[in-house]
Structure 1
Amino acid sequence: MQTQVHTRFAGSGWGLLLALMFLLPTVIPAFGGQRFNARLDNLAGQLVRQSRDAADRLERDYRRSFNNNRRDLQRLYQARMFVAGAELLAQMTREGRSEAELLEAVDFLRSQANFETGWSGLRSTLDDISRELRFGGGNPGFDPRDGRQGGRRNNGDWQDGQVSGRMRWFGRVDDEIYIYVQGATARTQLISGQPTLNERFTFTSPLPRRPLTVRVNRLRGRGRVEVFQQPSANNNFTAVVRIVDRGSGATDMEFEMLW
C-alpha cells in the first residue's frame, strides 16, 4: 500500500522534490552577495513550523484510528512531503536565492498543498512570503518606486519605460467580478459565480486623482483580466478592472495594475 502511494506522488511532482532534497548540497551553493531579509527568513521559518504542526496532527489522528483508508494515508504522505518542501524553501531563503527561484518554490508549494481543515494558515503564510518577495525587498535590485528590477524596467508591455505606481491584487475568483480601484483602496463587486475569497492588494503609491491611463498584466491564474474603465473625473478617478474566468471551479488570480 505504501509503495503504491509513494509511486503516485513521484509522478505528480513530489519525486522531483525528493530528488532536490538529496541533491541540495550541490544544487544550492552559498550566495554571499544577496542582502539578508529578516522578515522573509522569519516567514519561511514560520511556514516550516506550521507545516510540521499540521503534519504532526494528521499523524496523531492516523495512529489513533484503526479505520484508516487510502485517502488518509495519502494525506499523511502529502503533509510530510509539504514539510520537506517548506524546509527546502527556508534553506533557499537563507542561501540568498533569487526572487524568481523563491517565487517558483512558493508557487510549487501552493499547488501541491492540501489546504483543508487546519491548513488555512499555510496559505496565508505563503501569500505573505510572495508579497514580501515582490514588495518587501526580497530582491535587492527591486525598487517599487519606479518598477526597476536589477537595473531593468519590469513594466510589462509599457513602451515608454515610465511607471509611476502599481497595485497588485490577489484573490480566488469564480466566474466574473469587477474591482474598483480608487486611491489606495480596491473594492470587489461580484457579477456572477461564488464570492471572491482571500482578497489581498498592495500599492506602491495611491492611484492619482487625475485623468491617466492604467494597464493590467495577469501574473497568475486562468481566465481574462482587462481594464473595463479608465479613471476620469466622471467616475471620481476610479479604475475598474474586470476579471472573467469561465473555467470549472474557482482559480487563484493575481494581477498588477500599472500607471
Structure 2
Amino acid sequence: MLRKIDSRNMGSSNLGWLKSKFHFSFAEYYNPNNIKFGVLRVINDDLIEANAGFDTHPHRDMEIISYVVDGELTHGDSMGNKNTITRGHVQYMSAGTGVYHSEHNLGQDRARLLQIWIFPDKQGYEPNYGDYRFDWNERQNKWLHMVSSKDGDAPIKINQDINVYSLELEKGKEINFQVNERRQAYLVQIEGNSIINEIELNDRDGMEIVEEDILIQAKENSHILILEMKKEI
C-alpha cells in the first residue's frame, strides 16, 4: 500500500522567524485522522530565520532526531551539551525521564531542518544526547543507514525498532527500497522530484508505504529520507 501525502495539504504555520510544514498533527494543526504513523509521531519541515530558534523547553519520553537540510543548527541542553551541525548532519536526543534543550540557527542564512519525534519502546530511559556528522558523499546514489535500534548496525542507535536512511539520487538514476511483511515506512521527498512506483513526488511531499517494495526514479536530483519500522497493528 502506498499513499502520497501532498505538501500542499499538510498543516502549516508561519510565526515570522519560523515557517513549518507538519506531516502529522502538531501545535495549532490538529487532524484526528493524522496523529501518527506507527511509532512515528512528528515530522516537522522547519525553516528557521537567522539568529532565531527554539528557546529552552522541556521534553520527556520521546526519541528526537534533527536532520539539517540547509544552514546550521545549534543544540544546547540541561545535560551540558552544546554542538552545531550543518547540511546532512544529525542530532539525536533520548528525552527519557526529562530534559531541557534549545535549538537555534546562529548562522547568517535561513536554516531548514526536519524535526522528527519517535515514541520509545518504553518510558523512563535515562536522557541521552549525541550528534553525527555524516559525509555527504556517503548517500550519493545509495542508501545511507543513519539510525537504527540498539540492536541495529547504524552509527546512531535509539530506543525503538526503527531505521532511518538518507539518499541523494542523481537525475535519471533509480534505486530500490524493500519494505518487508509486517513492516512499514514513511518517505520524505526533501528536495527534487521523483517517481515512486508510478506516483510522482515533489519537494516536501511525503509517502506512506506498507508492506510494499518501491522503485525510486529521479526526475531531478532527489534528496530523500526514509523511516522504516514495524507495522502498526
TM over 0.5, shorter chain: no
Query: Greater strand percent: which structure?
Result: 2
TM-score (norm 1): 0.28
TM-score (structure 2 length as normaliser): 0.30
Determine which structure has the larger helix proportion and give its number: 1
| More relative contact order, 1 or 2 (CA 8 Å, 6+ apart) | 2
Larger Rg: 1
